[in-house]
Amino acid sequence: MALKSTIFKADLQISDMDRHYYQQHALTIARHPSETDERMMIRVLAFALNASEALAFGKGLSDTDEPDLWQKDLTGAIEVWVEVGQPDDRAILKACGRADKVLVYSYSSTSHIWWNQTGSRVDRAKNLKVVNIPAEASQALAALAQRTMQLQCTIQDGQIWLGANENMVLIEPETIKDFA
């Protein structure tokens, strides 16, 4: 018998001063049985960094044809495709062919090794941005995971504070590859 996803609920208050985006989102997050709290919280972070009314969680680990997050326009065309982790070059290039913008959020201590192996094969993709979340920050985010969460996210000058009440995590992402 297949294991079922665990459902998490998060009320996410976003104050993104870099994009002038101020909104509250009620998120329902299905955590795949093989997904860690760390990866799930990176998905929440990726949502906060790209938040819009049209951004939605995809099937991600459950379906290789869907990203972790995506945003479609009214015609169904994919505007934003977001992957979390270290996808292979074929998956990245396939996503770049399907979406206007592709973002990859890598969060492991081995991210630079992965990028050294993958970067040259995807460098030609002009609609690709790759961001590394430092391992210490991603592990601190994992500690915030609860079945019901009240989260605040403040983004200013490229720095991100994400957390609940007094448990705030400072995240300083590193852009490895930016849009051309």
Taken in order of first residue, the domains within the chain and their CATH numbers are 6-177 (3.10.640.10)
What DSSP designation does 133 have? P
- The pTM of this model reads 0.96
* pLDDT reported for residue 65: 84
pLDDT digits (tens, 9 = 90+) for 11-63: 999 999 999 999 999 999 999 999 999 999 999 999 999 999 999 999 877 77
* pLDDT reported for residue 17: 98
pLDDT mean over 163-176: 96
Conformational region of residue 92, where left means phi above 0, alpha means psi within -120 to 50, and beta covers everything else: alpha
Task: Please determine, for residue 134, whether its predicted confidence score (pLDDT) is greater than 60.
Answer: yes
| CA distance readout (Å), 7 to 11, 51, 154, 176 | 14, 20, 25, 32
pLDDT digits (tens, 9 = 90+) for 52-101: 999 999 987 777 789 999 999 999 999 999 999 999 999 999 999 999 99
pLDDT mean over 160-172: 96
pLDDT mean over 155-180: 96
Instruction: Assign 174 to helix, strand or coil.
Output: strand
Task: Please determine, for residue 1, whether its predicted confidence score (pLDDT) is greater than 60.
Answer: no
| CA distance readout (Å), 39 to 15, 20, 88, 123, 176 | 22, 27, 17, 25, 19
Instruction: Using only the alpha carbons of the chain, give its radius of gyration.
Output: 16
Task: Please determine, for residue 107, whether its predicted confidence score (pLDDT) is greater than 70.
Answer: yes
Cα(63)–Cα(57) distance, integer angstroms: 12
Task: Please determine, for residue 2, whether its predicted confidence score (pLDDT) is greater than 70.
Answer: no
